[in-house]
Amino acid sequence: MTIRLASDLSTDSIVDGPGIRTVIWTQGCAHNCPGCHNPGTHSMSRGVVVDVEEIKDVLDEIEGQDGITFSGGDPLYQIDPVIELAKYIKSTKKMNIWVYSGFTYEEIISMPRGKELLETVDCLVDGKFMMERRSLDLLFRGSDNQRVIDTRQSLKKGKVVLIEKYMKKKDITPLYKKDEDIFV
């Protein structure tokens, strides 16, 4: 089985979920969100096609990471290899897995194998990026329509369960209160 990637895996990310994470950048996305920060990942024919066994070998070598994130592009266009890799990660590394998608939870759960994907991962950040709802104060998401979803709890309860602590705005503690405080 193969997967089309936009680039090599990157390690030590601190913006694609909590902790220090390795990101798997899938290639291909048809959502066309205006203002997308990653337009080079949209083409379904660009990037590189890699055997998932090669990615498993790379994952075996990584150390010092708290979790794995599938981003892109939209990983849901390649649900079969994403499930294959997510199951491998769970069986070997026992790390938490986050998935970013322009599809909503409700759309994903009705896709072929959508429920299986949601059962395999821990968190879904769902929905298209909306420029008019963009905010720099958000944790792990670009616009406030997007939801940070606890996939296991959502499946258990039969409705979307948010991870509230990650839906809050960033706790930005001012380094100084007044201009004159900068130099004291």
* Least Å from the CB of residue 63 to ligand SF4: 29
Which residues, 6 or more positions from 158, have their beta carbon under 8 angstroms from its beta carbon? none
* Least Å from the CB of residue 105 to ligand SF4: 14
Residues that bind ligand SF4 (CB under 6 A): 29, 31-33, 36, 38, 41, 72-74, 102, 128-129
Of 33 and 68, which has the nearer Cβ to ligand SF4?
A: 33
Of 33 and 108, which has the nearer Cβ to ligand SF4?
A: 33
* Least Å from the CB of residue 151 to ligand SF4: 18
* Least Å from the CB of residue 100 to ligand SF4: 7
Inter-residue long-range contacts of 165-172, CB under 8 Å, 24+ positions, other chains counted? 166/18, 166/139, 166/140, 167/139, 168/139, 169/135, 169/137, 169/138, 169/139, 170/137, 170/138, 170/139, 172/137
Q: In the complex, which residue's CB is closest to ligand SF4?
A: 102
Q: How many CB atoms lie within 10 A of CB 71?
A: 23
